[in-house]
Structure 1
Amino acid sequence: MSGVLGADSRRVAAVDIGTITARLLVADVSAGKITEVERSTDVTHLGEGLVESGVLSAEAMERVEEVIARYAATMIRLGVEEYRCVATSASRDAANSFEFAARLSALGVAPEIVSGYEEARLAFSGALWGIEGDGVLVNDVGGGSTELVWGDSGGTGVAIRHAASIDVGSRRVTETYLHSDPPDALELKRARRWVRERFAPFFSAMPGPPSVSISLAGTATTLAAIDQRLEVYDAERVHGVVLARERLEAITASLASMTLAERRMLPGVHPQRAGVIVGGGLVLDAVLEGAGLDSTIVSEHDILYGIVLDVGARLARAGDGESG
């Protein structure tokens, strides 16, 4: 719910346009404190067919445009002072991404097609908001890419030691390897091998072993919801869940044995995410395998938090400049 802004609070918004979802967070930010005002998530499948065609389809762009028009109205209604909209993997890959960006800008929401490193930085910053620890591995399994960031968080802020955005994601794995319904053993084997090979250089170059893993985004939160046997998705119950790798493997194997129609009926699984959740499970499992960890902490604090922190800090600096 929206509240009354404090004297030093700034109402800001973050928009994340990913390969599978578009998301909005409106929040009041003050001295590093985040108070959520409104949050929306819409499954848009912007990257549908991108692996084969190399372009964003007209239908996919129209789905996102419809959502972004609604987000623009929400930001106006809630009195947002400043926003930042980032477009990630699908927009980076598509040959027609500048056309897509122009179409969204015409709706009043201008997207930045951010680099993989910037996406990783924002995810790391958001995940470690309010957390202190050394050797933390933050992983954000998206539809088209996975951001892996190893670093520290303390009183002076976050320090990234090793980071990469790797073109491995739930939709990319699904469209490249998992063609049968349900996927057959050979498809699953080939997908696992490919994901491991793609992640190997990151883990071999990591300066030290991670102390803990924090997993962000829809793959991790959906698998956590299944693990917790939630009938209806509940972000508060998902946030902070410790998902054991053994349990992750069992859930992924169970999902892989089902048809798409069966997965769509599962409690806790968004019907429009059912088609890519097996691929996502394979990716997340490969992250834990490469890191040598037997569990991960699932977090709802992700790139959206990183974005609103960035926007809030920028406004604070601007205010200091005006008063100086």
Structure 2
Amino acid sequence: MSIRELASHLNISIGTVSRALNGRSDVNAETRKRVLEAAAELGYVPNQSGRSLRQGTTNAIGFMVETNSEMSNHGDTFFTSVYDGVQKVFAPHHLDLVVLLCPSGDDPYDHVRRVVARRFVDALFISAIQRHDPRIDFLIEREIPFIALGRSLSGGSHPWIDLDFEGVATQAVNRLVARGHRRIGLVNPGSEINLGYIFADAYRAALAANGIAYDPQLLVRAEQTDEEGGYRSADALLALEPRPTAVVLVNENMAIGVYRRLHEAGLMPGRDMAVIGLRQSQLTGFLSPTLTCFRISLFDLGRRLAEGLLATMPAYRDSHPVGLVQEVWPIELVPGESDPPPR
């Protein structure tokens, strides 16, 4: 949309729209509010703001986090550790990290468009990547520097780093099969987040590699990937006949709900159903039996994300000549006591 079209939509002059977008004092507050809201709603990005974002003039970088999914899934520790690594790279450049919380019920695509239109930051980290994510296409089209924490089918050649969900699913299934399990459940997100598709594909491939037929009943899609989601998913698995002897969880906090539901059914986690979670965390360290899960270096992940983003920004390419970053971040199995052989 051009500024002329925006002015026509609002039925005011191009000059007034331009002054309102640039924060001029000779535009009254009500008109400025109308212009900014219409620009955000219609996806209008002034050329000046596009240049500002591409060249880097605010010395602030935004990290978009969805409070309705990621904050409940990982708690504060996941992103806090990532932020710490990001800021370690930013500090020598005197760059500030700004966390942009996309509230529950808000459209992440609209949220990104508003951020771009208001020129809050010079570049963006985006997370909770969808299988088809319009934010990626939007940012590429506007030539705005960004890096994605996660893979997507959207966009062309753009920077991203994703956790090794294939490795988690493959190692978990192989470990359980080696211990005698044949009926292995998987609890996956119920949303369109792409990690769920990656996780499920790797799970099915690992079963096939071990000569086990895939049973769609054993793949549970959880609307909440937290403690409550784990509880409800365990309830669904226990209703199957025969019930699975093991389950792999896409989120470590779900293990708390799974343990609770098993105890209520008079069953013992590990003894009556083997459980493998995703990430080693402080919370899961208090579970009994100890949870078999995976170690991820989140601080180093944050550093690499920051390096990959700065490599896309002309002002910082020389100091971070890492090229186009497209990486699967490694994970390490941490054996626990929650996945013995079946009884």
Normalised by the length of structure 2, the TM-score is 0.30
Which structure has the larger Rg? 2
